[in-house]
Amino acid sequence: MTAAERLLRYVQFDTQSNEFSDTCPSTDKQKALALALVEEMRAMGISDAYMDAEGYVYGTVPGDPAKPVIGLIAHMDTAPDASGANIHARIVPYEGGDIVLNEAERIVMKEADFPSLTRNRGKHLIVTDGTTLLGADDKAGVAEIMTALEQIIAEGTPHGDIWVGFTPDEEVGKGADLFDLDYFEADFAYTVDGDYEGEVAYENFNAASAEFTIKGVNVHPGEAKDIMVNAALVGCEIAAALPANETPATTEGREGFYHLCDMSGDVASAHLSYIVRDHDKALFAKRLDTLRSLEIEMNKKYGEGTVSLTITHSYENMLSIIMDNMYIIDLAKAAIEENGLKPLSRPVRGGTDGARLSFMGLPCPNLGTGGYGFHGPFEHISVEGMETAVNIIKSIVKHVLMLADA
């Protein structure tokens, strides 16, 4: 089975995670795909494959125990940003121009808006009907790992032990929370969760979520002077106090941002949900201090207890960890070059399970999948890019042996 065929099958599982859930996995439906993967892994000869109580999937492909042990990791959940249910995916031969995703709804993916389309001219793109995300983030990574393992086993490729891990809840910042590193005995690993298939990324955002809860004072509008505190308006004031030029829509590269993900409320109560990102650790800390100062300022203005702020740290920039383990970057770059691509390493404007795992003791940079436009209805991936990603994984496994023999 090809990686593309696997992806088309996996996206039929709705695995959307839920940032407001306290359970693991955050949505029980993620376990349906996890169990299907366990069954598929066992069928291809990974006899110890299993799903734990929290929905994590593990398995090993035994090899030469004298060689370094590599780990391959991807996440099963899809982002809460767009629906992951009833996905209608199809393969489109792409020669350039705009793609009509849904004629009835007049949904068009414009080449001018997505430079990745230009780079993928002459290839076959997997797209949606424009009403859901695709789920290539990160079911493409799952599919590519599974396909690479199937081929390694079938071809009898020499290798050391290979550990496999598929995680829930990466999209809500919890994918590494209960990852069992006492069980997962890899010396290093790669997440397969990026876009350009020739990418190996080892620098990511520092990340946190921030929740403002606002308590208003609601009285009759005719008698409200000097009494009413409109929680919804306080929320608007908080949002307006943050720099308008420091949002995802106005930043790039290493520039950080405040992203208002959700805002709701009325006179009596309101809620603002932010994510905060920056590659620079000092600037990241300054952003969090800005939010804390807003909480203090609003409470001085409207009364103590009006605004409460909860900050939850998600992950850190893995750069400091990977810099001490650059040989695993060199391995990936050699594998990418072997497959005819120019390696690309750039700061990731996001995060992966690998960032958290790196700080937990498992150095874990990120490889590309060939997918683009993640987290929305214009998500797409090329069949050819997926095939290349599979071959890069196989080449890395080969280069690990070469490293051990050097």
CB 91 within 8 A of CB 124: yes
Computed on alpha carbons and rounded to an integer, the radius of gyration of the chain in Å comes to 23
Q: Give the total residue count for the chain.
A: 406
The single residue of 170, 193, 278, 379 carrying the catalytic annotation is: 170
User: What is the arithmetic mean of pLDDT over 151-179?
Assistant: 95
Helix axis angle, 383-405 to 327-338, nearest 10°: 130
Strands (E), 184-306: 188-194, 200-201, 206-215, 257-265, 269-278
CB 280 within 8 A of CB 215: no
DSSP 8-state symbol, 262: E
Local confidence band at 406 (pLDDT 50, 70, 90 cut-offs): very low
User: What is the arithmetic mean of pLDDT over 96-119?
Assistant: 95
Instruction: Please provide the average confidence, as pLDDT, over all residues in the chain.
Output: 95
Token pair 């409109």: residue: 230
- Whether the pLDDT of residue 299 is over 90: the answer is yes
Query: What region does 82 belong to: left with phi over 0, alpha with psi -120 to 50, or beta?
Result: beta
Query: What region does 250 belong to: left with phi over 0, alpha with psi -120 to 50, or beta?
Result: alpha
Q: What is the pLDDT of residue 229?
A: 97
- Residue 110 CA to residue 210 CA, distance in Å, equals 34
Q: What is the pLDDT of residue 122?
A: 97
- 242 to each of 77, 193, 229, 257, 294, how far by Cα in Å? 31, 31, 21, 10, 9
Token pair 């750039």: residue: 346
- State yes or no: is 161 an active-site residue: no
- State yes or no: is 185 an active-site residue: no
Tens-digit pLDDT profile for residues 147-156 = 999 999 999 9
- Whether the pLDDT of residue 278 is over 70: the answer is yes
User: What is the arithmetic mean of pLDDT over 235-240?
Assistant: 98
Sequence-distant (6+) residues with CB within 8 A of 20 are none
CB 308 within 8 A of CB 211: no
- Residue 258 CA to residue 277 CA, distance in Å, equals 7
Q: What is the pLDDT of residue 403?
A: 72
CB 154 within 8 A of CB 45: no
- Residue 312 CA to residue 318 CA, distance in Å, equals 18
For the record, the structure tokens of 397 come out as 């496994």
The single residue of 14, 77, 197, 316 carrying the catalytic annotation is: 77
The residues that bridge with 276 in the sheet, in sequence order, are 208, 258
The residues that bridge with 109 in the sheet, in sequence order, are 99
Tens-digit pLDDT profile for residues 311-357 = 998 888 999 899 999 999 999 999 999 999 999 999 988 878 899 99
Q: What is the pLDDT of residue 404?
A: 57
User: What is the arithmetic mean of pLDDT over 292-310?
Assistant: 98
For the record, the structure tokens of 360 come out as 């937990």
- Residue 406 CA to residue 229 CA, distance in Å, equals 70
Q: What is the pLDDT of residue 401?
A: 84
Q: What is the pLDDT of residue 273?
A: 97
CB 332 within 8 A of CB 365: yes
Local confidence band at 405 (pLDDT 50, 70, 90 cut-offs): low
For the record, the structure tokens of 118 come out as 């230009």
DSSP 8-state symbol, 13: S
Tens-digit pLDDT profile for residues 19-78 = 899 999 999 999 999 999 999 999 999 999 999 999 999 999 999 998 999 999 999 999
- Residue 333 CA to residue 318 CA, distance in Å, equals 18
CB atoms within 10 A of CB 227: 10
CA angle 200, 201, 205 (to 5 degrees): 170
Tens-digit pLDDT profile for residues 202-233 = 999 999 999 999 999 999 999 999 999 999 99
User: Which string of DSSP letters, residue by residue, matches 93-117?
Assistant: EE-SS-EEEETTTTEEE-TTT-HHH
Q: What is the pLDDT of residue 402?
A: 80
- 317 to each of 103, 200, 361, how far by Cα in Å? 42, 15, 14
- 387 to each of 81, 125, 168, how far by Cα in Å? 27, 12, 24
- 261 to each of 75, 210, 293, 350, how far by Cα in Å? 22, 10, 20, 15
- Taken in order of first residue, the domains within the chain and their CATH numbers are 3-204+317-405 (3.40.630.10), 206-315 (3.30.70.360)
